[in-house]
Amino acid sequence: MYPENIIASTSEGHWLAILLGVIIHFVVISVYMKGLSFFPNRNIIGIYSSVGKGTALFFLIPVLLYFLMVIIITVRAYSEIITIVFLSNTPLWAIMALLLFISTYIASCGLETIFRTGILLAILFLPLILFIFFVSFQNVDWRYAIPIDGNFQFIKKRDYLESFFAFSGGYLFLGFVQPFFSYNRKNVLIAAAVLIPFFFFSVYIPILTFGQATASTFFLPFVVAVDAININWLMFDRVTMFFIISLIAFVMLFLSLVSWKTIRIIEQFIPSIKPVYMLISLSVIIFLFCLSVPDWKDVEKLFWWNTILRFYVLIAIPISIYLIGIHSKRKNQHENI
Amino acid sequence: MKTYKLAAIALLHFCLLFILSGCWNNKDINHRVLPVAMGISKQDKEYKVILKIPEPHQGTTQIKIVSATGTTITQVVDKISMNMESSVDLLHVKVIIIERETAEQGVKDIISGFMRARDVSAKALVVICDEDLDEFFSKIKKTTGPEGTTLFDFFEKNAGWNPQIALTRIWMVYRSIHSYTHDVAIPLVKSGKSTMVEQIGSAVIKNGKMVGEINSDETLLVNAFNGEGIQGRIEVMDHASVLIISDRMEHKSKLIEQKPYLQSQINIKVVLLETRGDPSTKVIKKELEHLLTNRFNLMFTKFQTSKADILGLGQFYRTQISRSQLKFWRSKYYPHLKMDIKFHINIQNEGYLKTSSD
């Protein structure tokens, strides 16, 4: 979907649009991690609560809403994509139930399970995804990359603002895992840097294969580009299937991570209920909500509403953490003197 | 308490068995028919669809041809599915055969439909048939062998494909409908007398409409230009016949006063196969150069008059023409394109016999 947004947002010089997104992503991550580094072994819920209950409410409620929206949209959108791409006879609710069930189960087992599953999935599916990425260059005509001169017209476009979902999903978890795991800041930045080519390729492969004029007519440009791959020596006819299935595996992992984070926040405000029950009731509510979304137009509407929240999360959270960090550091210094 | 919990978990896992099979409204493979070829013709707003279905029958495969008419292709397929004892699954359709008249009217709707619904793979080949589809299919039925995939093998690159056959897939036709600068050639066939199909040449498709026709020698040049690889093709001249073993191209594009100029050089390596009389390599080279250049120029003027950019020449001007102007490439720039093509021939070897060099 990311390529679709970018291709829709500008007709030439896509690299500029992608680059801007990547740069913003980097700035946000580094500010966020810098802020978190002021509080060793504490997560963002603890940080906000230490400032005051009002602050915690003010910052965490939007994040909570954002997470809920993300889960709903992801479940709904991906189940729709699954029905479009291969399971055209299966009813939506069955796919959504499956997606939610597995991710809820993983989330209920805790953070460590999520990360271990992540490593397992990476071993199983990353080679496959990398392979598909490489073979998708098969039909590429490099001359379609031209003209390369870009302008900043795309910033105002709704599609471009929506494309930020690709960046804003992952990084927040860095603030949640603190007491359980420690990480090296440099390694996180390296990982983010490794992802950059994928952002570029996912947009440029459809463009180089079909040309801008054709690629803009597709709903899922990258999937169609993968569909056009023809490999004689591979016994499987449709590589797309492998691509989508490995993608779904990662989506399940992402869902379980987000629902785990959501539970952490709710736990802060309502500590009396057991997290497992909370998780189950949460996924039931989300499932019902997903059922009540009738068609793709409404998914897009939800997506757009969420964009506003997303920018709040993208801008306010890292900066506020950073400011609180500096503030508390000063206070500590004063006390020491 | 503990046994209850265990029982509940066991029950839950048992229920999972049903989900894990992943089957929903599933039809087993013996209740499906998988056509390999699909013929489409349009007769006064009604589509006629013919499916070629291989049916396993006591160890061998028999070919079954079914057809129906309707307002949309999906409706027709649905109708066939309804009237057959098993359901039709288009997943494995490899070749789409379109009748010539239908292609001349335009195939935009048909191709867009395939791209949208994804029942038919975007990789399926598109072919245009130069005779009545019913006749074509009934003749095919007689000549097809027991494998049932012959029609597909004819075009497959690792099977019966030859460099003078155009190779065009659904997504390429779709691209040509929308692209500003890229058109395609689709193979033009009819049923043969001794072989199953006979290749006549290629249809020139512009914006999803058939606008012209080129013969198979010209298709070879198009394939060479598009980098499909023309190795293995035998060229026959007055004094010799040669085998092409490799080809390489260089292009220089210029835009002077809004008029495009293109200088192209195609380097071809050949192996000498047969000679008539005693020609020197120099004569052979010159003859081949002359032959190819003439053929190319003739073909190119044909393209220019029909304004179809099959060679994708507009691609070379992407750096020089702005995107808003590129929209008019076919109408404004392409007809005025001056093309200077040079063939450079290298005779790599002369086989076991020696040939004089001058």
Average pLDDT of every residue of chain B:
77
Select the residue of A143, A147, A229 nearest B323 (Cβ to Cβ): A147
Residue tagged 């028919």 (tokens): B33
Amino acid B160: pLDDT: 66
Amino acid B76: pLDDT: 83
Contacts of A143 in chain B (CB under 8 A): 315-316, 318
- Best probe of the B interface among A105, A210, A234, by most B CBs < 10 A, is A210
Q: How would residue B207 be classed by pLDDT, with cut points 50, 70 and 90?
A: confident
Q: Is the pLDDT of residue B150 over 70?
A: no
Q: How would residue B27 be classed by pLDDT, with cut points 50, 70 and 90?
A: low
- The answer to whether A227 contacts B24, with C-beta atoms less than 8 Å apart, is no
Amino acid A245: pLDDT: 84
Amino acid A170: pLDDT: 66
- Best probe of the A interface among B172, B323, B326, B327, by most A CBs < 10 A, is B323
* CA dist list (Å): B175 to A1, A18, B168, B331: 20, 24, 11, 18
Amino acid B22: pLDDT: 57
Amino acid B158: pLDDT: 63
Q: Does domain B231-353 have CATH number 3.30.2350.10?
A: no
Amino acid A126: pLDDT: 85
Contacts of B122 in chain A (CB under 8 A): 224, 227-228
Interface predicted TM-score of the whole assembly (ipTM), two decimals: 0.71
Select the residue of B92, B123, B174 nearest A214 (Cβ to Cβ): B174
Contacts of A147 in chain B (CB under 8 A): 318-319, 322-323
Amino acid A264: pLDDT: 81
Amino acid B144: pLDDT: 61
Chain B residues in contact with chain A using a Cβ-Cβ cutoff of 8 Å:
19, 24-26, 92, 115, 118, 121-123, 156-158, 169, 171, 174-175, 177-182, 312, 315-316, 318-319, 322-323
b/e map of A226-251 (b: 16 or more CB within 10 Å)? bbbbbeeeeeeebbbebbbebbbbeb
- The answer to whether A87 contacts B24, with C-beta atoms less than 8 Å apart, is yes
**Which tens digit of pLDDT belongs to each residue from B326-345?**
777 777 777 777 888 888 88
**Which tens digit of pLDDT belongs to each residue from B65-88?**
888 888 888 888 888 888 877 777
The rounded distance, in Å, linking the Cα atoms of A202 and B247 is: 32
Select the residue of B115, B156, B318 nearest A143 (Cβ to Cβ): B318
Q: Is the pLDDT of residue A324 over 70?
A: yes
Tell me the domains of chain A and their CATH numbers: 2-336 (1.20.1740.10)
Select the residue of A90, A212, A228 nearest B122 (Cβ to Cβ): A228
- The answer to whether A211 contacts B122, with C-beta atoms less than 8 Å apart, is no
Q: Is A292 on the interface with B (CB under 8 A)?
A: no
**Which tens digit of pLDDT belongs to each residue from A267-276?**
777 777 777 8
Q: Is the pLDDT of residue B148 over 60?
A: no
Amino acid B164: pLDDT: 72
**Which tens digit of pLDDT belongs to each residue from A159-184?**
777 777 767 666 777 777 766 666 77
Q: Is the pLDDT of residue A228 over 80?
A: no
Contacts of B315 in chain A (CB under 8 A): 141, 143-144
Count of positions (residues) in chain B: 358
For chain B, domain boundaries: 28-227, 231-353
Average pLDDT of every residue of chain A:
78
- The answer to whether B323 contacts A230, with C-beta atoms less than 8 Å apart, is no
